[in-house]
A = this chain, B = another copy of it.
Amino acid sequence: MNVHDDVRRRAESARRAASALAAAEGTVRTRILDEVGRLLADRHVRSSILSANAADVDAAREAEARGELSPALVARLELSPAKLDGLADGVRTLASMEDPIGRVDVRRKLDEGLVLERETVPLGVLGVVFESRPDAVVQIGTLCLRSGNAVLLKGGREARRTNEVLVEMLRRAVAAAGIPEDVVVHLPDREAFAALLDLHDLVDLVVARGSSAFVAKVRASTRIPVVGHAAGLCHIVLHPPAAPEMAADVVEDAKCGYPAACNAVETLLWIPGTEDALAAVVARLQRRGVTLRGCAATRALHPDLEAATDADWDLEYGDLVLSIRRVEDLDAALAHVATHGSSHTEAIVTDDRAAADRFLRQVDAAGVFHNASTRFADGYRYGLGAEVGISTGKLHARGPVGIEGLLSRRYRLRGQGHVASAYGPGKRAFLHEDLPVDFE
């Protein structure tokens, strides 16, 4: 069987399994998650996970020695008993949450005996592709199970052995609850994932986690809707009065916390009157070994900075590099952000509340922050629980995508033989009376 037929057959099987998972009582989905938590703590299961992981790490270290993999990537690949404890904790949190399926957010009496409800339903079948961190198999897989969706997962090549064992563990928990185990499917390689991207009749949503270039490539290769961030070019604006110490703290955290993250800052914009804050930021980042590239006005104050070119304003460095530009006023800052921003997360540091409010109101991005680091843009930090990814699109889900982004809604109407032609001018009128709902 060729890879296309094979992946189509698996997606069809996943679709049938998704129907069974969605139609089951919420207690069944809870039981599956409880079992995943139990398996993650089981001695035999742990030992098989850790030995598969050790094989992956050994191979990765050899590749690192050959210069084919970065040390950072190898470090992210490694699992430990402590990491498995953390994963089990996360799964238990998901297991204890209220069932998100079948929750009614609209309940409306259209007429006597005719009641409309809108309830949450799963999306159906998801395709998820992500980088080497094998923890993602458990985090994404259990989010999908909690929300009643089937998922076909493709992880990084370096973690293939670990991912296979983790997917097998999820399938074991699914089967133990009497649901077809194909609700979770492991896709072994890029060819299989490429085949999945053709299945727009079977797959409802693709979640892509990886570099901007990678997400853009996935998006261009499929007619299935894709959730992911095509870029993360975040700005911090210094507006007077800006406290130097706060400015240095926020920019340092936003740049140095994890420079490869999509929520790291790439460009600092400063407005005249914030020279002291700028000086504090420059001094702090130079101590942290950050390469600073300034516009001419910035270099007039800090001649030791590299010269920025126009190209710098559109670069997502993903590294310990920051570009710095002087802008005349808030309007100029807003214009720069609108032109060069990626609608991910934009921040302003100032004690001027009115200026901050205008910034928060006028910037069109998934996250708009005042006196806080851009690094807070994250599902866990937002308190959404785990996330499958961050969306910079405006439709469906925006920002970190958790359970809510994996749900759709359905209208349910119960009548007693009601017909639409009975209503209209000179005929019956609708009541449209809202009734109490299950949740806010």
Contact = CB atoms under 8 A, between A and B. Distances in A.
Interface string A299-314: 0000000000000000
A246 B417 contact: yes
Nearest to A23: B362
A31 interface: no
B415 A408 contact: no
B394 A364 contact: no
A214 interface: no
Interface string A239-272: 0000101100110111001000000000000000
A234 to B, nearest CB: 13
Given A116-B383, A382-B116, A415-B372, A124 B420 contact: no
Given A23-B361, A410-B365, A430-B381, A420 B376 contact: yes
A377 interface: yes
A440 B440 CA distance: 5
B394 A204 contact: yes
Copies of this subunit: 2
Contacts of A118: 399
A419 interface: yes
In this complex, the member of A114, A243, A250, A415 whose beta carbon has the largest number of chain B beta carbons within 10 angstroms is A415
Given A396-B396, A398-B409, A420 B373 contact: yes
A13 interface: no
A366 B396 contact: no
A2 interface: no
B204 A110 contact: no
Contacts of A413: 367-370, 372, 376
A416 interface: yes
Interface string A104-142: 000010100010101001011000000000000000000
A399 B117 CA distance: 12
Nearest to A113: B371
A9 interface: no
A124 B394 contact: yes
Nearest to A343: B410
In this complex, the member of A110, A250, A349, A383 whose beta carbon has the largest number of chain B beta carbons within 10 angstroms is A383
Interface in A393-430: 394-396, 398-399, 408-421, 423, 430
A376 B418 contact: yes
A412 B364 contact: no
Interface string A156-176: 000000000000000000000
A127 B408 CA distance: 24
Contacts of A423: 381
Given A372-B114, A417-B243, A437-B440, A411 B382 contact: yes
A432 interface: yes
B205 A395 contact: yes
A370 B373 CA distance: 51
A54 interface: no
B371 A414 contact: yes
A399 B417 contact: no
Given A225-B395, A370-B415, A398-B410, 18 more contacts: A23-B361, A110-B381, A116-B382, A204-B395, A205-B395, A250-B418, A257-B420, A257-B421, A356-B414, A367-B412, A369-B412, A370-B413, A371-B418, A372-B418, A375-B419, A381-B423, A381-B430, A398-B409
4 shortest interchain CB distances as A-B pairs: A372-B415, A253-B419, A246-B417, A383-B432
23 contacts: A108-B383, A110-B382, A114-B376, A123-B394, A249-B417, A253-B420, A257-B421, A360-B414, A365-B410, A367-B411, A367-B412, A367-B413, A369-B413, A370-B412, A371-B415, A372-B413, A372-B417, A372-B419, A378-B420, A381-B423, A383-B432, A396-B396, A440-B440
